[in-house]
Amino acid sequence: MLFPPPKRNSPTAQPHRVVVTGAGIVTALGLGWQVNAEGFRAGRAAFRPVTLFDVSRQRARIAAEVDLPAELPPTQLSANTLRRLDRATRMLLQAAHEAWTQAGWAPSDNLPVVLGTTSGEMALGEKYLQQAITTPLQRRQQATRIVHYQVQQQGLDLCSAFGFQGPLTNISNACASGANAIGHAWEMLRFGRAEKVLTGGYDTLCQLTFAGFDSLQALSPAPCRPFDAHRDGLTLGEGAAILTLETLEHAQKRGAEILGEIIGYGAATDTHHLTQPHPEGNAALAAMTAACASANVSPAQIDYVNAHGTATPHNDATEAAAINRWAGDCASALRVSSTKATCGHLLGAAGAAEAVVCLMALRGQWLPPQTTAGTTDPACHFPIVREAVAANIETALSNSFGFGGANATLIFRRWS
């Protein structure tokens, strides 16, 4: 039953510790942990001209597109289903297979799946509308497009592919969706609602979103430069990232290899404006503070911040203000970077992909640099990581902020 819970928790009950036992990632850097770890560690930018749709009449024309292989990992999907799989689902299956295989999980009757996305497979929705307008009496393929563009369909295909029975929860909190999904999964485990959860985020590039950000003049014509004094906008990307989360007891009982621990999550809503954050970063500060409170750590105990850092003038100024306020005197020693300089802004997948980057950094003991950074905005009271460096880091904090004022923060701890 989803309610009441098997055992009602009280705030005083000892919450479970939650660990990550598998991680899968697909970005423009490539498929899988290894190639992405190499790319993020080097700060290798993965931008190129957009080929998925026409951008000739847009101000910006680059993005971080994923080269998806034709082959999929082995699944239980029928040939018919495989033939109809959309781009978003294909990315999701690649990432989920990597995570699930790494975790060594077996198909389960009751494996909660919590995903974040902003728009599912919107490219199919676009095709539906185009055909509905241009040839309104032509219905061919329209039903398939309607089914497969919907957010729930990608999750259902994921469950069918690997034999999961759900429940399936889709959180669409704009660009914080992936972080909110992981945070929600973390809470489910922490409060005893499940022993393991598959979670993460995904989003694909599509014309509607690209044109939307361009209409707001939020896209940069050149690769984005987070926290740069001369930044002029974000660069979009696409991808998927999936984590297998378990309670520590469950993971240890089955002898699983642990990649890291999630120790904190905080979320808050910024009511200042639908797209512009509060200038002083009130909600960002609230999310970071709440995450620290749930993790029982202070800012001084955070070794690295993976910033939301979209490179829009508004976001970075606000986030810098929030980090300055949150870190206080510790800010000057805090190491911060935005990996959107490497793989672009993955929207609903951003929080999940950046969670995987944090795990990579904690596992490998290095800091992901943003090699495109030039002159740091003086609003930043903290140093930006500009070069690939080895580092001793025990904890990492990841911020994700989205339209509608959705703010989410996750905190990770090295497993040793």
Partner 1 sequence: MSRIFVHGLGAVSPAGWGVEKLSAALEQREPIAAQNLARPGWEKPLRVRNVPPPETRPTFFAHPRLRRAGAITQHTVAAALEALGDDAALIQSGARRLGIVTCMMSGSVAYSRRFYEEVLREPAMASPLVFPETVFNAPASHLAAYLGTNGTGYTLVGDDGTFLQGLAVAADWLLNDQADGVVVVGAEESDWLVADAMRLFQRNAIHGAGAGALYLRREKSATAGAELSAVTDSFLFTQTQNRSAAARKMRAQLPAGAPDELLCLGAQNLARPDAAEALAWRDWAGDRRAAKTVLGEAFLASVAWQCVAACADLARSRFSAANISVVGANQQAIGARFLACAKAVSVTGSAPETVDLF
**Catalytic residue flag (residue 97):** no
Within residues 205-244, the interface with partner 1 by CB under 8 A covers: 207-208, 211-217
Q: Which two tokens stand for residue 40?
A: 């993020």
Site membership for partner 1, residue 81 (CB under 8 A):
yes
d(CA 221, CA 224): 8
Distances 238 to 2, 71, 145, 155 between C-alpha atoms, Å: 32, 19, 20, 17
Annotate 366-401 with DSSP letters as a single string: EE---TT--SBPTT--SPBP-S-EE---SEEEEEEE
Q: How far is the CB of 348 from partner 1 (least distance, A)?
A: 10
**Catalytic residue flag (residue 345):** yes
Q: How far is the CB of 371 from partner 1 (least distance, A)?
A: 31
- Our CB check for partner 1 shows the closer of 194 and 317 to be 194
Site membership for partner 1, residue 338 (CB under 8 A):
no
**Catalytic residue flag (residue 250):** no
Check if the beta carbon of residue 404 is closer than 8 Å to that of residue 255.
no
d(CA 298, CA 19): 20
Check if the beta carbon of residue 114 is closer than 8 Å to that of residue 169.
yes
Q: Which of 97, 148, 308, 381 is catalytic?
A: 308
Identified binder of partner 1 from the candidate list 406, 409, 410, 414, rule CB under 8 A: 406
- With H, G, I as helix, E, B as strand and everything else as coil, classify residue 337: strand
Identified binder of partner 1 from the candidate list 49, 79, 137, 140, rule CB under 8 A: 137
Site membership for partner 1, residue 58 (CB under 8 A):
yes
Check if the beta carbon of residue 204 is closer than 8 Å to that of residue 315.
no
Q: Which of 16, 148, 250, 345 is catalytic?
A: 345
- With H, G, I as helix, E, B as strand and everything else as coil, classify residue 155: helix
Identified binder of partner 1 from the candidate list 68, 82, 191, 394, rule CB under 8 A: 191
Site membership for partner 1, residue 286 (CB under 8 A):
yes
Site membership for partner 1, residue 402 (CB under 8 A):
yes
On the 0-12 / 13-18 / 19+ scale of CB atoms within 10 A, 251 is buried
Identified binder of partner 1 from the candidate list 17, 30, 126, 280, rule CB under 8 A: 126
Site membership for partner 1, residue 405 (CB under 8 A):
yes
Q: How far is the CB of 208 from partner 1 (least distance, A)?
A: 5
Identified binder of partner 1 from the candidate list 49, 83, 133, 140, rule CB under 8 A: 133
- Our CB check for partner 1 shows the closer of 27 and 169 to be 169
Within residues 147-176, the interface with partner 1 by CB under 8 A covers: 147, 150-153, 156, 159-160, 163, 165-174
Site membership for partner 1, residue 59 (CB under 8 A):
yes
Q: How far is the CB of 142 from partner 1 (least distance, A)?
A: 6
Check if the beta carbon of residue 170 is closer than 8 Å to that of residue 152.
yes
Q: Where does 235-371 have alpha helices with state H?
A: 248-253, 282-295, 313-327, 340-343, 350-364
- With H, G, I as helix, E, B as strand and everything else as coil, classify residue 386: coil
Residues noted as catalytic: 175, 308, 345
